[in-house]
Structure 1
Amino acid sequence: MQEMLQLGLGLFGGLALFLYGMGLMSGGLQEAAGERIRGILAAVTRNPLLGVITGAVATAVLQSSSATTVMTIGFVSAGMMRLPQAIPIIMGANIGTTITAQIIAFKLSDYVLAFVIGGFVLMQLAKQGRLKLGGQAMFGFGLLFLGIDTMGAVMKPLAENPVFTDMIAQVTGIPVLGIAVGTIMTLVVQSSSATIAVLQNFAAQPAADGGSIIGLDGAIPILLGDNLGTTITALLAAIGQSRDAKRVALSHCLFNLSGCLLFVWLVGPFASVVAAIPPTGAEMDVIARQIANAHTLFNVTMTALWLPFVPLMAKIVSAILPEKDQIPRNPLGSRDELAGNAA
């Protein structure tokens, strides 16, 4: 009982540090660059490829796909952007959010406290302005990695627990179950970056044979579920917004859902492709980077597949969410027409 309590406190305490650090970092970056990013997003009106690039860069800068998605939904709701222009930005936001996983894959444990101290000093010395916001972002960045280290430390005993390893073996053997686990985790935490960080840390724990406790084949379905679960933020942001804004949120959901339905059948081949991407080496040394690469490759591939069909995506979401005043016509004619014919 005591061990379970320590495990729970360490895991959720580390997760709390991660989420708080992510919020501080994202908030500081948004305050410093938010207005400029809003202006750039609003200026993207014609070229779908430019929309993807803008969405990716904006999300990489803000370190929050939710921020980019919510801003885009707001522009559409305000009539500043049309649905076909917004969809590529949402696709780009999916690519940009993978930068977080790539950063986490770097082993920065030895420098975590340096970021915390440096950010704290800047926050205290700078009265206001971008220097203070930069200190906030640095402080949040340090807390983010401190949370990751905390979660990693408490996860190590799990790798030696036969009950837990048997449960993980069942999940890794059924990709659909892995997708469900990843989706539920992200729905609860409301951050795909956090759940992917947990996944990277967990996969880095050694099994009895010296390899990863879950392996790349087992991690990919959970990663797919993380991508699907993150769409709930856009759906929540669209509540009370215009019809087109709701369609933007729905397009985000359909984009990730279509990726899950496609890649769930290709887990083995996809894992082989990811494993061939540098760096290569012992599984335990590269598994975190492989998960980050899989995250990036998945979103880039789905964007490349969907980008030529943005008009089709717009038609699909418009058909699912038609205008409220668009009432299907009675094939026999209206009541007045029928009365006139009868006369």
Structure 2
Amino acid sequence: MYRTDPVPAGAVTVAVAVTINPSESQADLVRSMEAPPTKARQEEHDPWHVAKLKDEGTKWRDLDTKGKILRALGYVLKPLLLLGLIYLFICSLDFLSSAFRLLGGRAAGETLSNSELLRNPVAGLMIGVLATVLVQSSSTSTSIVVTMVGAGILQVKPAIPIIMGANIGTSVTNTIVSLAHSGDRDEFRRAFAGATVHDMFNWLCVIVLLPLEVISSYLFQLTAAIINSYNIQTNEDAKQEILKVITKPFTDLVIKIDKKVITKIAQGLPANETGSLLKEGDYLFANTGLSESQLGVVILILSLIILCVCLVLIVKLLHSILRGRVAYWTKKVINAEFPGRAAFLSGYLAIAAGAGMTFIVQSSSIFTSALTPLVAVGVLHIERCYPLTLGANIGTTATAILASLTQDGQDLKNSLQLALCHFFFNITGILLWYPIPSLVESCKPSMSKWFPHPPIVLAKWLGNKTAKYRWFAMVYLFLMFFILPALVFGLSFAGWEVLVGVGVPILALFVIICVINVMQAQFPRFLPVKLRTWNFLPAPFHSLKPYDIVCVKVLEPCGKFCKCCRQVTCHFYHLR
């Protein structure tokens, strides 16, 4: 029985017409109205997968003769311009590396020369991180360490943690590159996640494999067995420069850095024998009268300007080129999968491709930084970027191997052993974190949520955080690559007791928080009611929103006087 209440005066009535099929039950109707969105609709709103790069241009058949000529010229000139911008982008990374060498190269060399401190594996790890961040090249830092081992200054065992740290430090470059995409929220989300998936993999590998190496020395024993089983000969011509042949003519017109000076400092030579970091010659910044640090600041600013301009133009060109059918086929080829249960092999092919490309360019930083814009615009999925990054980790070990082959006799064996430690460290990390989730994902997709790729999960979490609070990207950058390594390195000076006494409780608390977070998301019923959320804690302990408000207030005074800062404040820190 139904009751009809009178409609109040002035109320707005809305008539809803619903056509009911007599053969359709009321339950069927309710289910159809509450049906979840289709997969296509979910993908359309998924910020991690750009369903379709829009083609808003005029169709070819609607163009006049002039328009068709201009369009044809665009098809030819845009790829050439893109190649030119990529060339400048790579050169800007070289300038960035030179700037950091001028600013921190001597400090990195002096740090690496402290052999007593390097006996602490945690200190060695952080030295590897800081040294690689300072010289902006894992190839340089690992080559220095390999040379030190070859010269007998450093033993193989204490050098292994430094190599592990170099793996972490090299990922700072593509993290910096991702900041150029902060103008668009979803692009920044994808770019930052695509960059930090490298960080997360390297940190996870170190967290597991460094204690394992300290306890068992498995890398040392494995590589020693390999070295002793072969009659290895030296090769003075092992150093190969492939990409440098293209970029060096231009970069040498601007700045020339003597990398051997850092190696000499690391070997403990006095200052009067090491010489200047600047080579003699005729180039733009020769004989400027500036100190190494002052010149480093100038080149740092110059390189960042070139890098940002190139990235902005590259992204705009990619948006312009990758539209319509071109975008469709590009995405389809790059993210292609083998059919059926062989789909998991696609990732291994990507790993091989990443290793090969990194070997060609002789720099994992350049290769992974080039992937970041592709992830940002949605052409490359983070799920495909991940194995390419793993391949880059393998490819970059070739530099250390080539550097080791220039040594002689027993020096060759020691330096090559360390280079192989770097190689097998990355291989072990891949075997640890990649095969099982990949196999489950292809064979049992329904189980994939229980066996995800941890680096991708963590990278997406960071991407979501930076999309919401964009200042968090800078906090992460300084915290993970400068503050945390420096703090741990500082504690190492006080000895093992202090490091363990401070570090173990913090690490235990971190693990407990992570476990509770996972249980809150997956198994809340097993937690006490109070622990099912973090709301019982003060807001600054479980939310970034209070800090976001502080950031807005800090930038507001500047925005009153500077139009640019006002736009930045509104654009980057506006609460939504």
TM-score, normalized by the shorter chain, greater than 0.5: yes
Matched residue, 1:227: 393
Matched, 1:218 2:291: no
Aligned equivalents of 2:98, 2:350: Cα separation in 1: 32
Give the Cα–Cα distance (whole angstroms) in 2 for the partners of residues 102 and 251 of structure 1: 26
Residue aligned with 2:322, SS: helix
Alignment RMSD: 3.4
**Structure 1 residue 54 corresponds to structure 2 residue 226:** no
Of residues 24, 39, 42, the one that matches 2:110 is 39
Q: Which runs of 5+ in 2 are unaligned?
A: 1-71, 184-253, 256-283, 439-451, 482-576
What residue is the counterpart of 2:353 in the other structure? Answer: 181
Could you say which residue in structure 1 is the equivalent of 2:322? 158
Query: 5+ unaligned residues in a row in structure 1: which ranges?
Result: 111-118, 206-211, 298-343
Counterpart residue number, 2:462? 277
- For residue 245 of structure 1, the aligned residue among 395, 406, 415 is 415
Q: Percent identity?
A: 28
CA gap of 1:166–1:74, structure 2 versus 1, over 3 A, is: same
Please say if residues 45 and 85 of structure 1, whose CA atoms lie closer than 8 Å, have aligned partners that are also in contact: yes
Residue 48 of structure 1 deviates from its aligned partner by: 0.5
Distance 1:103 1:140 in 2: 12
Give distance in 2, aligned partners of 1:236 and 1:4. Answer: 40
Which residues of 2 match residues 20-99 of structure 1 at below 5 A? 20-43=91-114, 44-99=117-172
CA contact (8 A) 2:108 2:130 kept: no
**Deviation string, structure 1 residues 204-223 (Cα, Å, up to 9, x no partner):** 12xxxxxx333222221111
Alignment partner of 1:192 is 2:355 = no
Cα deviation for residue 159 of structure 1 reads 5.2
Displacement after TM superposition at 1:247 (Å):
1.2
1:127 maps onto 2:289 in alignment = yes
Distance 2:308 2:123 in 1: 32
Contact map agreement 1:238 1:246 (CA 8 A) in 2: yes
**After alignment, is 259-268 or 53-62 more displaced?**
259-268
Contact 1:171 1:177 in 2 (8 A): no
Is residue 181–residue 376 contact of structure 2 (8 Å, CA) maintained in 1?
no
State the one-letter code of the partner of 2:300: A
- Work out the CA distance in 2 between the residues paired with 1:3 and 1:171: 31
- Which letter does structure 2 place at the counterpart of 1:252? H
Q: Is the 8 A contact 2:103 2:134 kept in 1?
A: no
Paired AA for residue 264 in structure 1: Y
Q: Which of 252, 256, 261 is residue 431 of structure 2 equivalent to?
A: 261
CA–CA separation in structure 2 for the residues paired with 1:31 and 1:21: 15
* TM-score, normalised with respect to structure 2: 0.43
Largest Rg, 1 or 2: 2
- Distance in 2, matches of 1:105 and 1:32, equals 23
Report what 1:6 is aligned to. 77
| Separation in 2, partners of 1:83, 1:281 | 39
* Distance in structure 2 (CA, Å) of the matches to 1:170 and 1:37: 42
Kindly tell me: are residues 150 and 190 of structure 1, through their superposed partners in 2, closer, same or farther at Cα, counting changes over 3 Å?
A: farther
Q: Distance in 2 between matches of 1:4 and 1:88?
A: 49
Is the deviation greater in 226-235 or in 152-161? 152-161
CA contact (8 A) 1:29 1:62 kept: yes
Q: Which residue of 1 aligns with 2:25?
A: none
Q: Distance in 1 between matches of 2:433 and 2:308?
A: 30
What is the TM-score normalised by the length of structure 1? 0.70
Contact 2:125–2:161 (8 Å) recurs in 1: yes
Q: How many residues align?
A: 276
Matching residue within 91, 100, 105 for 2:178: 105
